[in-house]
């Protein structure tokens, strides 16, 4: 373990642009593993704990069809003529081609002599993040060496493969050593488009190393969460819950909703350690039953959970009938369920998937299982892009129901704030607002209807009164009209008399 004091000094240099006079954290000896970040005072939920900026950043370039992005500003470029005209083999935009950063990258790669500089090659573009370590100053490079690195057999493959794409790739052992070490540190602590290292489902399309963040230890119920500033790629870490003074500030290297066994495997294989947090030590995962499956006994409706935690292939126990099952037996049920859910998810009909999750899937996989939660999150994401073949009502009901479900699981797990929670709360708030508005509109319609009805009734009454009055008048006039008319002969008679 490198001493916390030296790490702090190097971090201070790295963080100079954000120099916080009274930081809420310090590097200290961790109870979880080696070094960690400790709270130097009480930190309130939602408070910004720290900001970090990438020491190294570059394009992930993992997909061959997404190579048309600028290697400096990382922005997407028009599909043609995006390669550097000077022949370094990097994509770069017009503006950035004149910047100092590209000059440095360009000189380095040109000196290696790329075989096909006019063709965008994912291996070269991806290597840039690593190669930039060669141009860091000594303190910055020392900081890289200060960070955890999983020096397994695979970490040398990347540079070895890249070397074949240049005519004069350096043969200096030291250069290889620095790049291989950087690859190992990136793999252990870095961000990469493909890794599962996200507690927030926020898209991060680059490959980057945030040194201060890299010092933070993992907990499956982290007490902090992070976001990125879009323009600068500055990382902002906030408290997910209240953190008392002296407590370790933790983050998560896995997704929030994977079950115990999947998390265990990921952390073991990719990060090289076994998590012993409170969630990992509890087969029920705080009663959230995220890895829960149904009992194989058809007459039992009990939930089955791993017998003990921390094993890749544990036996399972039914919480009701106590029947034991092997890992292989339970994986069969899980695979069946995931196959069925995936088939619906890929069916191109969002409505089919939603109906399946609402009516059918609970027959063979509990709603608490993370596969169901994942499917619901993906439905919400798809609904965010348009409601496909769902009616407006189904979409609204689904948003309301699924965001509540996800929040409930987070509460059960004891998870504090995160980007997922913010997103769910926002969905819920908007949906409830929309619902309240609809109810208000409905009430207003009813009120107007009642008003109209009252007016109609009034008009009816008036009409009836008028009719009545007319009738009375008519009746009053009736005797006069039936009385014998004056004798038409009276006048001639008068004349006669005259
Ligand atoms: Zn650019
Ligand atoms: Zn260039
Ligand atoms: Zn854990
Ligand atoms: Zn049972």
Ligand closest to CA 266: 3
Average pLDDT score over residue span 72-87: 86
Q: 191: CA distance to ligand 3 center in Å?
A: 20
Q: 280: CA distance to ligand 4 center in Å?
A: 23
Query: Could you tell me if residue 271 is left (phi over 0), alpha (psi between -120 and 50 degrees) or otherwise beta?
Result: alpha
Q: 35: CA distance to ligand 3 center in Å?
A: 17
Lowest mean pLDDT among 194-203, 340-349, 420-429, 433-442: 194-203
Q: Which two tokens stand for residue 345?
A: 């998810």
pLDDT value for 460: 93
* Residue 21 confidence (pLDDT) above 90: no
- Indicate the average pLDDT of the chain: 89
pLDDT value for 367: 94
Q: 304: CA distance to ligand 4 center in Å?
A: 7
Per-residue pLDDT of 26-48, as tens digits, reads 999 888 878 899 999 999 999 99
Work out the end-to-end distance of the chain between its first and last CA atoms, rounded to an integer number of angstroms.
149
Per the CB < 8 A criterion, the answer to whether 199 and 10 are in contact is: no
pLDDT value for 151: 84
Q: 337: CA distance to ligand 4 center in Å?
A: 18
Q: 406: CA distance to ligand 3 center in Å?
A: 20
Average pLDDT score over residue span 327-356: 92
pLDDT value for 195: 47
Per-residue pLDDT of 297-333, as tens digits, reads 989 999 999 988 888 888 999 999 999 999 999 999 8
- Confidence class for position 497, pLDDT limits 50, 70, 90: very low
pLDDT value for 2: 63
* Residue 396 confidence (pLDDT) above 70: yes
pLDDT value for 498: 39
pLDDT value for 369: 94
Q: 264: CA distance to ligand 3 center in Å?
A: 8
Instruction: For the sheet with 224-228, list strands across it.
Output: 48-52, 235-239, 224-228
pLDDT value for 205: 74
Q: 127: CA distance to ligand 2 center in Å?
A: 15
pLDDT value for 488: 52
Q: 183: CA distance to ligand 3 center in Å?
A: 25
Average pLDDT score over residue span 236-243: 96
pLDDT value for 494: 46
Q: 69: CA distance to ligand 2 center in Å?
A: 14
Q: What is the DSSP code string of 225-268?
A: EEEE-TTT--EEEEESS-B-TTPEEEE-SS-TT--HHHHHHHII
- Confidence class for position 482, pLDDT limits 50, 70, 90: low
Q: What's the CA angle centered on 4, arms 3 and 6, to 5 degrees?
A: 70
Average pLDDT score over residue span 152-168: 92
pLDDT value for 172: 93
Lowest mean pLDDT among 207-221, 235-249, 260-274: 260-274
Per the CB < 8 A criterion, the answer to whether 358 and 282 are in contact is: no
Contacts of 105 (CB under 8 A, 6+ apart): 71, 72, 88, 90, 128, 131, 132
pLDDT value for 199: 42
Q: 263: CA distance to ligand 3 center in Å?
A: 8
**Whole-angstrom distance, CA of residue 430 vs CA of residue 480:** 74
Short-list 444, 480, 442, 294, CA closest to 371: 294
* Residue 217 confidence (pLDDT) above 50: yes
Per the CB < 8 A criterion, the answer to whether 56 and 211 are in contact is: no
pLDDT value for 93: 93
Average pLDDT score over residue span 442-463: 95
Lowest mean pLDDT among 226-235, 273-282, 389-398, 448-457: 226-235
Cα 135 to its chain centre, rounded Å, is 34
Average pLDDT score over residue span 378-407: 93
């Amino acid at each position: 373990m490198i001493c916390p004091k030296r790490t702090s000094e190097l971090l201070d240099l790295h963080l100079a642009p954000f120099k916080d006079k009274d930081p809420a954290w310090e590097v200290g000896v961790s109870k979880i593993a080696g070094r960690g970040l400790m709270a130097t005072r009480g930190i309130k939920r939602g408070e910004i704990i720290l900001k970090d900026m990438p020491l190294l950043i570059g394009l992930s370039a993992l997909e061959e069809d997404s190579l048309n992005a600028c290697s400096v500003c990382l922005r997407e470029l028009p599909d043609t003529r995006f390669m550097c005209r000077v022949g370094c083999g990097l994509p770069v935009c017009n503006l950035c081609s004149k910047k100092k950063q590209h000059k440095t990258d360009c000189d380095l790669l040109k000196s290696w002599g790329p075989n096909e500089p006019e063709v965008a090659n994912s291996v070269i573009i991806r290597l840039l993040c690593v190669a930039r370590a060669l141009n860091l100053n000594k303190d910055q490079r020392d900081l890289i060496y200060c960070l955890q690195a999983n020096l397994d057999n695979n970490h040398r493959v990347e540079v070895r493969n890249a070397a074949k794409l240049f005519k004069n790739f350096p043969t200096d052992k030291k250069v290889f050593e620095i790049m291989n070490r950087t690859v190992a540190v990136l793999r252990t602590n870095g961000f990469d488009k493909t890794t599962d290292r996200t507690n927030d489902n926020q898209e991060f399309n680059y490959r980057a190393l945030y040194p201060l963040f890299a010092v933070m230890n993992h907990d499956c119920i982290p007490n902090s969460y992070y976001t990125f500033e879009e323009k600068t790629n500055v990382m902002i870490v906030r408290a997910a819950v209240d953190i008392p003074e002296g407590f370790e500030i933790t983050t998560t290297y896995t997704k929030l909703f994977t079950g115990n066994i999947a998390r265990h495997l990921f952390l073991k294989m990719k990060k090289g350690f076994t998590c012993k947090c409170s969630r990992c030590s509890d087969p029920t995962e705080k009663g959230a039953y995220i890895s829960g499956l149904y009992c194989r006994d058809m007459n039992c409706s009990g939930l089955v959970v791993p017998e003990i935690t921390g094993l890749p292939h544990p036996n399972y126990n039914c919480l009701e009938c106590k029947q034991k099952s092997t890992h292989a037996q339970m994986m069969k049920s899980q695979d069946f369920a995931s196959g069925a859910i995936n088939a619906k998810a890929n069916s191109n009909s969002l409505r089919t998937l939603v109906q399946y999750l609402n009516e059918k899937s609970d027959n063979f996989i509990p709603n608490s299982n993370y596969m169901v939660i994942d499917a619901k999150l993906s439905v919400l994401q798809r609904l965010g892009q348009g409601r496909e073949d769902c009616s407006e009502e189904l979409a609204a009901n689904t948003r309301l129901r699924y965001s509540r479900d996800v929040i409930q699981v987070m509460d059960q797990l004891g998870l504090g704030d995160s980007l997922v929670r913010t997103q769910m709360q926002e969905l819920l708030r908007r949906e409830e607002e929309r619902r309240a508005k609809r109810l208000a509109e409905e009430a207003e319609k009813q009120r107007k209807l009642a008003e109209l009805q009252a007016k109609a009734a009034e008009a009816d009454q008036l009409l009836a009164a008028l009719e009545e009055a007319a009738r009375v008048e008519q009746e009053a006039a009736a005797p006069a009209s039936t009385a014998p008319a004056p004798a038409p002969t009276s006048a001639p008679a008068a004349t006669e008399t005259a």
